[in-house]
Structure 1
Amino acid sequence: MARGEQLSRQWKMIHTLLASRLGKSASELAEELGCTRRTVYRDLEALQAGGFPIATETRDNRSYWTVLNAGRQQVPMAFSTAELMALYFGKEMLQTYRGTVFYDAIASLISKIKATLPPGYIDFLDRLQDRVDAGPAPRKDYTRFGPMITDLNTAILDEKKIDMVYFSMGRQAETHRTVHPYRLRHVEETLYLIGYCELREQVRTFAVDRIESVTVTGEGFRMPGDFDLQGFLEDSFGIFQGPPETVKIRFSPKVAGYIRERIWHKSQQLTDADDGGVIFTATVAGTEEISHWVLRWGAEARVLDPPALRRIVGRHAAAMAEHYRKNPD
């Protein structure tokens, strides 16, 4: 039997006993859990060995199993096994934000849940944690940005302007800006601030890890009533903004399956090609961001439209080819 199935069944058994004021017989447990009485006895023995205060009492010549002092146990009854796994998985997914309010808050929540439980429960949760893993991935280290992210959250919630020093990667220069912070947005392991920039007089996006300093001012702001934040973001292929462009890209049969299995953009349309490939069509904000995506697929992707995107990708591909021609080793 799979270890995960056993853990799930034992977890349900604990909650079934805690929810029952008079206890449950082995037969009742077997029926509710969909297993044999022999399995029930084996699980009860394992739970007792793990430290759960499980005992039996006899009524009308039948044995009933109960959890001692169940009425006083501060057990989070609302959590199912799946919900706990989702909580642990969420913590793993937030590894990028270790040291910030996002990661610290979920870690604190899990610690509070564990603090209310007897040793057997804690052992169960520790085993459960070993069964969820977000996997390795390139990540930014936001540890040193923890206080800044807290300040940004405060400014967003209180609708207070911020003064900040921002480093532009494109211009390789710092600028001082006053920004009305609207929202934080996570895109591909990067956290962005979206807000109105008084310097540029328009809504802009800022990579949080390129904000050098932040001061929350006492001056308030109001997001314009006619500003649609979702509408501002909907055409983006990630986070970049630009005029709407309808792009058409042909993918070879070798990678067509990878393209078909994901939703890359809300406007995408996929058309099967005669050779087994697929043609991807979407309307996106600008061409810069999607050009990076096309280049990821190498020679397996070919831009059909628009011509401007064909030229951008072509220039990058030519420069790469020239680099390797000059430096074959």
Structure 2
Amino acid sequence: MRASRLVSLLLLLQNRGRMSATRLAAELGVTPRTVYRDVEALAAAGVPIYAEHGPDGGYELIDGYRTRLTGLTADEAESLFLTGMQGPAAELGLGAQVAAAELKLMAALPTPYRDASIRIRERFHLDAPGWYREPDTVPHLVAAAEALWQDRRIEIRYRRWSPEPAEVTRRLRPLGLVLKAGVWYLVAQGKGDPRTYRVASIKSLKPLPDTFARPPGFDLAEFWRTHVDRYERADAAGEAVVRLSPAGLAALPEVLGPRATRQARATLREPGPDGWCEATVPLENLPHAAAGLLRLGPEARVVAPPELVAHMAATIAEMAALYT
């Protein structure tokens, strides 16, 4: 605690210049007597700090002295201001801490770096949630984060959707939190391998008194990459063969997403005289596939499987009936 306060005192003097013990004490939330002791400690450590007496006096650093973040380049300093997403930090209960850390970082930077960082903040904004959706309500996110930080086991009541909707109770060892497209996921271990739980589906969370040791070598980023890859592969129950116009092929990334687009382009047949070509796309289930392909309108025609062709034809007929 005192080490952090000494750094803050040093940064205040560096950023604002001469300050009285009373002002320093107010900024740091301590008494002037504590400031006197801290100044003595900094001076003993070799920091060139001196006191100016009189009505306008106070503590000041010798001209030209600055503490710098060791090894931090201009580009690295600027990039740090792209990483502080205040929305997610606030959801985790860390909004004030992130803001304070950014202020301290700003104070510690030399003037040219500071000016460039201000330009970054004025010109870039990171917005994590996806389009056309309200953010999840995550009332138990802070409790999950606290248990995660303390390596404390938790008991949750969870609303799962497969194999069928039901509320279940689980005792878990939280291993990590992941924010994906504006949705928070808890990575936790129960009786078997680690699994993922959507935080918004947690109906209640109770910290347990006992702590646990994290699995040796567990890598959260690597686990998440493997989980996403496995989820996407399992999500496709089969394949559909589709004929696409040039406009339909160009619209695939926006309509069906990058994974389906990659597969379609990898399986693309030579275009016919009309410019249409045949490709294969992943098939999750009939309603989901039909809903996506219908967005392509007359720029796509399903060739197989027969059940998807029939589903598309029936859906289009029902839609046409609404307008006749």
The TM-score range, normalised by the shorter chain, is: 0.5 to 0.7
Q: Does the aligned pair in 1 maintain the 2:172–2:189 contact within 8 Å?
A: yes
Tell me the alpha carbon deviations over residues 169-203 of structure 1, each in whole angstroms, 9 at most, x when there is no partner: 576653322234344333332122234455xx776
Q: What residue is the counterpart of 1:113 in the other structure?
A: 105
1:253 aligns with 2:253: no
* Counterpart mapping for 1:282-301 below 5 A: 291=289, 294=292, 297-299=295-297, 300=299
1:208 is aligned with what amino acid?
A: V
Q: What secondary structure does 2:184 align onto?
A: strand
* Counterpart mapping for 1:211-290 below 5 A: 211-217=202-208, 218=210, 220=212, 229=223, 231-237=226-232, 242=234, 245-248=237-240, 250=242, 251-257=244-250, 259=252, 263-264=258-259, 268=263, 270-273=266-269, 274=271, 275=275, 279-281=279-281
1:111 is aligned with what amino acid?
A: L
2:84 is aligned with what amino acid?
A: K
* Counterpart mapping for 1:71-150 below 5 A: 72-76=65-69, 78-92=71-85, 95-100=87-92, 107-117=99-109, 122-134=114-126, 137-138=130-131, 140=135, 144-150=139-145
C-alpha RMSD over aligned residues: 5.0
Gap change, CA 1:150 and 1:254, over 3 Å in 2: same
Gap change, CA 1:224 and 1:128, over 3 Å in 2: closer
Gap change, CA 1:81 and 1:279, over 3 Å in 2: farther
Unaligned runs of 5+ in 2: 1-61
* Counterpart mapping for 1:146-157 below 5 A: 146-154=141-149
Gap change, CA 1:127 and 1:96, over 3 Å in 2: same
Q: What secondary structure does 1:98 align onto?
A: helix
1:211 is aligned with what amino acid?
A: I
1:279 is aligned with what amino acid?
A: A
Q: Does the aligned pair in 1 maintain the 2:68–2:110 contact within 8 Å?
A: no
Gap change, CA 1:292 and 1:125, over 3 Å in 2: farther
Q: What secondary structure does 2:117 align onto?
A: helix
Aligned partners of 2:106, 2:294: CA distance in 1, in Å? 43
Q: Does the aligned pair in 2 maintain the 1:75–1:117 contact within 8 Å?
A: yes
TM-score w.r.t. length of structure 2? 0.53
Aligned partners of 1:225, 1:215: CA distance in 2, in Å? 27
Aligned partners of 1:293, 1:152: CA distance in 2, in Å? 41
Q: What residue is the counterpart of 1:6 in the other structure?
A: none
1:151 is aligned with what amino acid?
A: E
Across the two proteins, how many residue pairs are aligned to each other? 246
- How much has 1:132 moved relative to structure 2? 1.1
1:167 aligns with 2:159: yes
1:207 aligns with 2:198: yes
Identity of aligned residues (%): 19
Gap change, CA 1:106 and 1:232, over 3 Å in 2: same
- How much has 1:168 moved relative to structure 2? 3.4
Q: What secondary structure does 1:147 align onto?
A: helix
Unaligned runs of 5+ in 1: 1-67
2:177 is aligned with what amino acid?
A: L
1:214 is aligned with what amino acid?
A: L
Aligned partners of 2:114, 2:247: CA distance in 1, in Å? 47
